[in-house]
Chain A
Amino acid sequence: MKLDEAFRNHREKIVDRWVDYTLSTYESSSFFKKEKDKFANPVGGNIREGLDSLFGLLARNADPQEFVAPLEQIMRIRAIQEFAASVAVGPIHAVKHITREVLEKDKERRHLVADLYDFEFAVDLAVLAAFDLYMQCRERLYQVRIQEIKTGNYILTDSKCPSNLLKTNIQESLKAVESH
């Protein structure tokens, strides 16, 4: 149970470093790190919120199902930011190393590093879930593209006489999309 206490004590430090690490993958990272208003800085704000709540879940060995909500908050952003999949997911992984580092520097709790197996296993599960979410977000993005074509907004270009489509296909495909 001492590990619990260690997580509680170091939560802020670990999360701060984790957020820093995650945000340093952006070009203008200093802004993303400093500005904490979720509306003035949606990237930084959401990632901070997501990682913080994810850490809480990891630390108390929560049901991996619960990881999905905070991870989604993060992955939805990273999935559209020109990162390769590995880069998008990579920072989730980093909490393992950060936690070890932080604990090792704490003389009283150094011995707890040996007990990190469960925590690290939970992180691994989170990374796998993050990959799933990344893929879901990418797929959703392609759905959005298809939807745009179907709703007629794409017809602005590349069409001779778009209204023919309206009469026949659009209403059909709309139904198809909606029931999907």
Chain B
Amino acid sequence: MKYAFSFLAVIALILIAGLGSQVPGMQYFFGVAIPYLAMMLFVGGFVYRVTQWAKSPVPFSIPTTCGQGASLDFIKQDKLDCPTKTSEVVARMFLEIFLFRSLFRNTKSEIHDGPKITYESSKWLWLFGLLFHYSFLLIVIRHMRLFVDPIPFWLSAIESVDSMLQIGAPTLYLSSVTLLGGLLLLFGRRLVNRHVRYISLNNDYFPLVLIFAIGVTGILMRYFLRTNIDIINIKNLAMGLVTFSPVINVKIGAIFYIHLFLVSTLLAYFPFSKLMHMGGVFMSPTRNMANNSRAKRHINPWNDPAIKPHSYAGYEDEFREFMVDAGIPVEKELSATKDEA
């Protein structure tokens, strides 16, 4: 029932914004105060989290090697999966971050009994994930048009590619469809796949539902609930927000405030949740380090040089007699130690 809680929470958020924004005078609260607060939390929280991570050192070089390392020159190194140079690490990270390479690795190709169910379903996770993340990225980029004036060429180009199917008016953005599709699939997977369901927490369902609601309200605003939705007014507000001179002098439909409130919630929630994997993936020591720890010494700032092994002298003292008997060379001969005693 964990997912039900997420639905309730998002419904509550929608009600708060939908009703609250209709109370006279509250437009500034929902249109200006909340977004500013959310942005502050997002930026502040994100920076805080990343600095918190960065404050902890990486004491040891612990890359997970996924291929042959660099050793003898006649042994072929797998430069992507077992990098030794920074450029190779960058390439590995690039593929990891932009193509989700580790998830793609999920191949199972040996003898199968019956249909190859898992082969496909393991790739599904990769596909759903990629679909969702790229759609989301595209949508964020598209929204940049609200915050810049004039709109740069590349932004318009992205938009026209995104709407190239030319369906409906205003034209349908592909990314809107793939975002919702990706979310549904990820959500469905969490419910249907028994062991993923077993490990899922509220924290896993909530962002999915929240982003889904953001997508739906955005689509509603663009295509259906268009009363009092004027892109010019919204852009004015957005430009006002980024230039720190926000004004709301016209009536904007409740659906806009709901959309904005949900986005604000996402921003505020982001740094305090698993969504921080966005930052963490760059800093994961098992992926972003070169496998060269024998060639180049890695430094551990808290290494304690005072920790010494049980000394050879202590060892010889304990076993000297046996060592001499067995003809093992010793530092101090038996007679010498006896004389001392």
Contacts and interface: CB of A to CB of B under 8 A. Distances in A.
A/B: CB atoms within 8 Å of each other: yes
Interface stretch (A3-11, A31-39, A93-101): A31-39
A28 interface: yes
Contacts of A39: 108, 110-111
A35 B106 CA distance: 13
Contact of B108 (A28, A34, A40, A49): A40
B113 A48 contact: yes
B55 interface: no
A36 B195 contact: no
A56 interface: no
Contacts of B113: 36-38, 45, 48-49, 52
Contacts of A52: 113
B68 interface: no
A25 interface: no
A49 B110 CA distance: 15
Contacts, number: 35
Interface in A28-66: 28, 30-31, 34-40, 45, 48-49, 52
A39 B107 CA distance: 12
Contacts of A38: 110-111, 113
A36 B112 contact: yes
B3 to A, nearest CB: 18
B118 interface: yes
A36 B117 CA distance: 8
A34 B113 CA distance: 11
Nearest to B121: A34
B194 interface: yes
Given A37-B111, A52-B113, 6 more contacts: A28-B195, A30-B195, A35-B118, A36-B114, A38-B113, A40-B118
Nearest to A40: B108
